[in-house]
């Protein structure tokens, strides 16, 4: 496929600025880059070189691609542009005043090439520097408590648009904290498993061993509401990434009311999908549970959660809810949180509790939506 063909297919908007009328080469995946180089009569290794220029050197100008001859550089520049996602806005919240170096969770609005906006969150701690990145503009699954769900679905992100979020947050982390990313979670706007090909492509680039930015697959977590077929695809892919499932209730009726997807994917189907994931990968899944006052924070709900978690190999992550997102819901109070933690620990489950880091800036799964969309 040539750049001009892509342009004729109407896949890019005509713009006045220099080069911006040309299609963005970062929208092509590895296979398509290989097809492009083959169509130009170049040997196969040129596609790997081009990928390295784009994502390891992060080149924004074909002229800098010094391993290519002048003719090839000019041909590429005449047909393609290089337009990465960019930072549009940021806000931060200091969360640990007592620390010698106060740690601020920061939320970034990222502008995509077509003007759409998504959000990414940088969550620092003493040991880690985590980027929470988005996989879709909006989300079709419409969970009731979720700001993104209320936006509706606009489009899937290209692999490079997810990769760019990690690059941007890595460089912001270096500026703000003097250290780069150690972990990535696909837990921002959207359901990553509905955009799995591009998520796989992005993970392959982010974990490419000898690239300038390289992170182990084991430090990457994919978060989902629990789509069985896609969970099996991940399990069989051989990826070493971790899997988190937004459970939020182990009661079928309560979960259905919070998450419409649960009407179709019942708790029984989810249990089967988790068991299958456990047996294929030998790895546990993390059940993410957001305590909501009067909704899922009763002792009975804690008992059901224990029973559900024990059906498979599961850890629990309790997270706080920010009621700014949807006033219909309120975060569970500290006594119900203590009761939940105790019951889970008494049952021998492994529990992590995410501090209310980022509450004021809505920094959590299901709690992101661009200000513009709001
Ligand atoms: S919680 Fe996740 S899956 Fe549900 S609507 Fe929000 S972004 Fe989509």
Residue whose CA is at the smallest distance from ligand 1 atom 1: 366
Strands 129-132 and 136-138: unpaired
Question: How high is the pLDDT of residue 334?
Answer: 86
Q: How many whole angstroms from 143 Cα to the centroid of ligand 1?
A: 5
* Residues designated as active site: 119, 365
| Sheet with 86-94: strands ordered across | 86-94, 104-111, 117-124, 129-132, 183-186, 220-224, 242-246, 285-290, 314-319, 351-353
Mutate to test the pocket of ligand 1, among 134, 149, 367 (most ligand atoms within 8 A of CB): 149
Sorting pLDDT into bands at 50, 70 and 90, what band is 151?
confident
Residue whose CA is at the smallest distance from ligand 1 atom 7: 190
Sorting pLDDT into bands at 50, 70 and 90, what band is 323?
low
Whether the predicted pLDDT of 150 surpasses 70: yes
Sorting pLDDT into bands at 50, 70 and 90, what band is 326?
low
Mutate to test the pocket of ligand 1, among 118, 137, 143, 194 (most ligand atoms within 8 A of CB): 143
Which tokens sit at 41? 């009569």
Task: Give me the residue label for tokens 């069989």.
Answer: 236
Which backbone phi and psi does 114 adopt, to 5 degrees? -95, 10
174 CB-near residues (< 8 Å, 6+ apart): 180
Q: How many whole angstroms from 145 Cα to the centroid of ligand 1?
A: 9
Question: How high is the pLDDT of residue 357?
Answer: 47
Burial 148-183 (b: 16+ CB within 10 A, else e): bbbbebbebbbbbbbbbbbbbbbebbeebeeebbbb
Query: Could you tell me which residue, 359 or 308, shows the higher pLDDT?
Result: 308
Residue ranges matching CATH 1.10.150.530 in the chain: 3-79
Sorting pLDDT into bands at 50, 70 and 90, what band is 87?
very high
Q: Among the atoms of ligand 1, which is closest to the Cα of residue 146? A: 6
- Please check whether residue 348 is in contact with residue 309, taking contact to mean a CB–CB distance below 8 angstroms: no
Q: How many whole angstroms from 22 Cα to the centroid of ligand 1?
A: 34
Q: Among the atoms of ligand 1, which is closest to the Cα of residue 142? A: 5
Whether the predicted pLDDT of 225 surpasses 90: yes
Residue whose CA is at the smallest distance from ligand 1 atom 3: 191
Q: How many whole angstroms from 148 Cα to the centroid of ligand 1?
A: 6
Q: Among the atoms of ligand 1, which is closest to the Cα of residue 139? A: 8
Q: Poorest-confidence range of 90-104, 187-201, 207-221, 251-265?
A: 90-104
Q: What percent of the chain has pLDDT over 90?
A: 76
Residue whose CA is at the smallest distance from ligand 1 atom 2: 366
Sorting pLDDT into bands at 50, 70 and 90, what band is 93?
low
Q: Tell me the C-alpha distance between 323 and 373, whole Å.
A: 18
Which backbone phi and psi does 260 adopt, to 5 degrees? -55, -30
Residue whose C-alpha is closest to residue 118's, from 140, 88, 83: 88
Residue ranges matching CATH 3.20.20.70 in the chain: 86-361
Q: What is the mean pLDDT of the chain?
A: 89
| Tens digits of residue pLDDT in 187-216 | 999 999 999 999 999 999 999 999 999 999
User: What are the DSSP calls for 246-264, one per residue?
Assistant: E---SSHHHHHHH-THHHH
Residue whose C-alpha is closest to residue 140's, from 275, 49, 259, 308: 259
Question: How high is the pLDDT of residue 149?
Answer: 87
Q: Among the atoms of ligand 1, which is closest to the Cα of residue 259? A: 4
| Tens digits of residue pLDDT in 2-43 | 444 444 444 444 444 557 789 999 999 999 999 999 999 999
Matching CATH number, 86-361, of 3.40.1030.10, 3.30.830.10, 3.20.20.70, 3.40.50.170: 3.20.20.70
Sorting pLDDT into bands at 50, 70 and 90, what band is 308?
very high
Q: Among the atoms of ligand 1, which is closest to the Cα of residue 147? A: 6
Whether the predicted pLDDT of 1 surpasses 90: no
Task: Please report the sign of the dihedral spanned by the C-alpha atoms of residue 177, residue 103, residue 354, residue 126.
Answer: positive
User: Ligand 1 pocket: which residues have CB below 6 Å?
Assistant: 139, 141-143, 146, 148-149, 189-191, 225, 246, 365-366
Question: How high is the pLDDT of residue 49?
Answer: 98
| Tens digits of residue pLDDT in 115-134 | 999 999 999 989 999 999 99
Sorting pLDDT into bands at 50, 70 and 90, what band is 333?
confident
CATH-assigned architecture of domain 3-79? Orthogonal Bundle (1.10)
Mean pLDDT of 96-100: 47
Question: How high is the pLDDT of residue 147?
Answer: 85
Sorting pLDDT into bands at 50, 70 and 90, what band is 263?
very high
Mean pLDDT of 95-120: 78
Q: How many whole angstroms from 106 Cα to the centroid of ligand 1?
A: 20
Whether the predicted pLDDT of 94 surpasses 70: no
Q: How many whole angstroms from 153 Cα to the centroid of ligand 1?
A: 10
């Amino acid at each position: 496929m040539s750049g001009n063909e892509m342009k004729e297919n109407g896949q890019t908007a005509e713009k006045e600025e220099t080069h911006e009328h040309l299609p963005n080469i970062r929208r092509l995946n590895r296979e398509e880059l290989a097809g492009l180089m083959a169509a130009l009569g170049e040997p196969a290794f040129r596609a790997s070189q081009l990928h390295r220029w784009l994502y390891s050197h992060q080149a924004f100008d074909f002229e800098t691609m010094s391993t290519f001859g002048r003719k090839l550089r000019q041909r590429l520049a005449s047909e393609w542009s290089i337009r990465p996602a960019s930072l549009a806005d940021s806000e931060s919240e200091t969360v640990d005043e007592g620390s010698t170096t106060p740690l601020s969770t920061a939320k970034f609005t990222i502008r995509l090439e077509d003007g759409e906006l998504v959000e990414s969150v940088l969550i620092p701690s003493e040991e880690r520097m985590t980027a929470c990145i988005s996989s879709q503009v909006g989300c079709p699954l419409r969970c009731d408590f979720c700001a993104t769900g209320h936006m509706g679905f606009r489009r899937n992100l290209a692999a490079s648009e997810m990769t760019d979020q990690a690059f941007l947050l890595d460089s912001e982390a270096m500026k703000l904290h003097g250290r780069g990313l150690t972990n990535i979670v696909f837990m921002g706007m959207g359901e990553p498993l509905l955009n799995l090909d591009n998520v796989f492509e992005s993970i392959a680039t982010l974990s490419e061993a000898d690239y300038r930015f390289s992170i182990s697959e084991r430090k990457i977590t994919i978060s989902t509401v629990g789509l069985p077929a896609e969970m099996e695809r991940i399990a069989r892919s051989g990826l070493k990434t971790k899997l988190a499932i937004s459970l939020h209730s182990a009661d079928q009726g309560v979960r259905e009311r919070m998450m419409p997807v649960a009407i179709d994917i019942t708790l029984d189907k989810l249990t089967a999908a988790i068991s299958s994931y456990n047996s294929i990968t030998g790895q546990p899944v993390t059940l993410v549970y957001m305590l909501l006052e009067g909704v899922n924070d009763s002792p009975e709900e804690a008992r059901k959660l224990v029973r559900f978690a024990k059906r498979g190999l599961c850890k629990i992550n309790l997270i706080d809810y920010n009621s700014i997102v949807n006033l219909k819901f309120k975060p569970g109070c500290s006594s119900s949180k203590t009761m939940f933690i105790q019951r889970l620990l008494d049952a021998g489950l492994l529990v992590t509790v995410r501090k209310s880091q980022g509450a004021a800036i809505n920094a959590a799964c299901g709690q992101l939506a661009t200000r513009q969309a709001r």
